Amino acid sequence: MQKKTLSDIAIQGKRVLMRVDFNVPLDEEKTITDDKRIVEALPSIKAVLENGGRLILMSHLGRPKGKPTPGLSLAPVAARLSRLLEIPVIMASDCIGTEVMQQVLAMQDGEVIMLENLRFHPEEEANDPHFARELASLGEIYVNDAFGTAHRAHASTEGITHYVQTAVAGYLIEKELRYLGKALHHPERPFIAILGGSKISGKIDVLENLFNKVDALLIGGAMIFTFFRAQGMATGKSLVEDNKLELALNLMEKAKEKNVRLLLPTDVVVAQEITAGANCQKVSAEAIPEGMIGADIGPETRERYRQEILNAQTVLWNGPMGIFEIDCFAEGTFAIAKAMAEATGSGATTIIGGGDSAAAVAKAGLSGEMTHISTGGGASLEFLEGKKLPGIAALND
């Protein structure tokens, strides 16, 4: 990796200002329903504390639209972190200002302060330089470990780096770059990617970028119906993007030019309606009945994709194969998750990018069986598109 990390710097006695992604889900009572994001930041947090640093944490939470919003305070997060670390975590009343400055200047080695929600200030998302400078003044070293927001040039991710001497990556970002970066730049081959999800329009740039990298692309999700329709096949009432038919044909052409095998399903699961009680049927991809909606890949396709996965050394997956939120359309997605778990077991590198895909793997109970599950939905997608993530580009080389 070309970026400096926490391992490259001296921390003892220093005020370490760390951007984390503590944007956790909260229920009505403001209880954290999933603390995965806090747990994932622990390696960097512990490294700072164990090396005698003074840790100042900052994050956003929800969408307060630039105004202080009591329901979106980071106080419950500070409490949960305190329980995980088994030491007190001081909750600041704001993220900038004289009171906060006095608090951080009074810190001792090994102490932790959680700043209040960055997005209580509109200047955060506007990447306002004065706000960025105020944040920067709180610390002596800046660490970015918020992969989930690295694709946004905000004051706490990009602007701030202009006002600090030392700006390094935390261990979570380092891990993301290690796996995603290796897959894109030096994959062990065969390297295949599986792409699904709802719309082809959201994945065009990913498809285009992956054509230059992979040996095969396995397609699922709703975008298959746009490929089908483009080839003149009947698609019933499936989700088709009519203005992307040409694009679908171009993509198929491009795959040929680049010698990438582009695999489409040969059978699909269809139903009259997308509901839990729907009557699901398996049909050939060439025989989708009128009025039916395609909502998953069929069993023949699942087996074919499984063989591809087991023959690969690197497997990258983004986007569910079907409407996995409903049981009878979840089998295709689960089959991919299972095959990837099997591949991990035989030594392949398996990587999941995308929020819904990660949720699907968790629902299948296979999260522990993948080499890497990216923590950033939008950020991992932009990375796969080959874009520079501003929050990472801004760190010290």
Q: Which amino acids are annotated catalytic?
A: 37, 199, 355, 378
Examine residue 382 and tell whether it contacts Mg ion (CB under 5 A): no
Which listed residue (95, 114, 323, 373) binds ligand ADP by CB under 6 A?
A: 323
Q: Count the site residues for Mg ion by CB under 5 A.
A: 2
Output phi, psi for 22, to 5 deg: -105, 35
Nearer to Mg ion, 110 or 355 (CB): 355
Output phi, psi for 56, to 5 deg: -115, 115
Examine residue 236 and tell whether it contacts ligand ADP (CB under 6 A): no
* Distance separating alpha carbons of residues 20 and 147, to the nearest angstrom: 8
Query: CA of 103: how far to CAs of 46, 95, 158, in Å?
Result: 21, 11, 24
Which listed residue (318, 344, 349, 350) binds ligand ADP by CB under 6 A?
A: 318
Q: Which two tokens stand for residue 38?
A: 């806090």
Nearer to ligand ADP, 64 or 294 (CB): 294
Name the helix (H) or strand (E) containing 360: helix 355-363
Place of tokens 């285009």: 208
User: Which of 15, 36, 87 has its CA nearest to residue 375?
Assistant: 36
Examine residue 301 and tell whether it contacts ligand ADP (CB under 6 A): no
Examine residue 49 and tell whether it contacts ligand ADP (CB under 6 A): no
Nearer to ligand ADP, 376 or 391 (CB): 376
Is residue 324 within 8 Å of residue 360, measured between CB atoms? Answer: yes
Residue nearest to Mg ion (CB): 356
CB of 376 to Mg ion, least distance (A): 12
* Distance separating alpha carbons of residues 335 and 227, to the nearest angstrom: 22
Name the helix (H) or strand (E) containing 82: helix 75-85
CB of 329 to Mg ion, least distance (A): 16
Which listed residue (82, 137, 198, 311) binds ligand ADP by CB under 6 A?
A: 198
With CB cut-offs between 5 and 8 Å by kind, which of Mg ion, ligand ADP, none does residue 281 bind? Answer: none
Q: Which of residues 277-296 bind ligand ADP (CB under 6 A)?
A: 294-295
CB of 355 to ligand ADP, least distance (A): 4
CB of 222 to Mg ion, least distance (A): 12
Query: CA of 274: how far to CAs of 239, 279, 280, 322, 328, in Å?
Result: 12, 9, 9, 11, 10
Nearer to ligand ADP, 139 or 221 (CB): 221
Which listed residue (64, 139, 265, 322) binds ligand ADP by CB under 6 A?
A: 322
Examine residue 296 and tell whether it contacts Mg ion (CB under 5 A): no
Q: Per-residue x/- marks for ligand ADP, 330-359, CB under 6 A?
A: ------------------------xxxx--
Examine residue 180 and tell whether it contacts ligand ADP (CB under 6 A): no
- Cα Rg, the chain, nearest whole Å: 23
Q: Count the site residues for ligand ADP by CB under 6 A.
A: 20
* Distance separating alpha carbons of residues 195 and 206, to the nearest angstrom: 9
Nearer to ligand ADP, 143 or 264 (CB): 264
* Distance separating alpha carbons of residues 183 and 192, to the nearest angstrom: 10
Q: Which of residues 343-372 bind Mg ion (CB under 5 A)?
A: 355-356
Residue 311 neighbours by CB distance under 10 Å:
14
CB of 387 to Mg ion, least distance (A): 17
With CB cut-offs between 5 and 8 Å by kind, which of Mg ion, ligand ADP, none does residue 265 bind? Answer: none
**Strand order in 216-219's β-sheet?**
261-263, 216-219, 191-195, 314-318, 349-353, 372-373
Is residue 259 within 8 Å of residue 233, measured between CB atoms? Answer: no
SS3 32: strand
Half-sphere exposure of 124 (CA within 13 A, CB side): 25
Interacting residues with Mg ion (CB under 5 A):
355-356
Interacting residues with ligand ADP (CB under 6 A):
196-198, 202, 221-222, 239, 294-295, 318-320, 322-323, 325, 354-357, 377
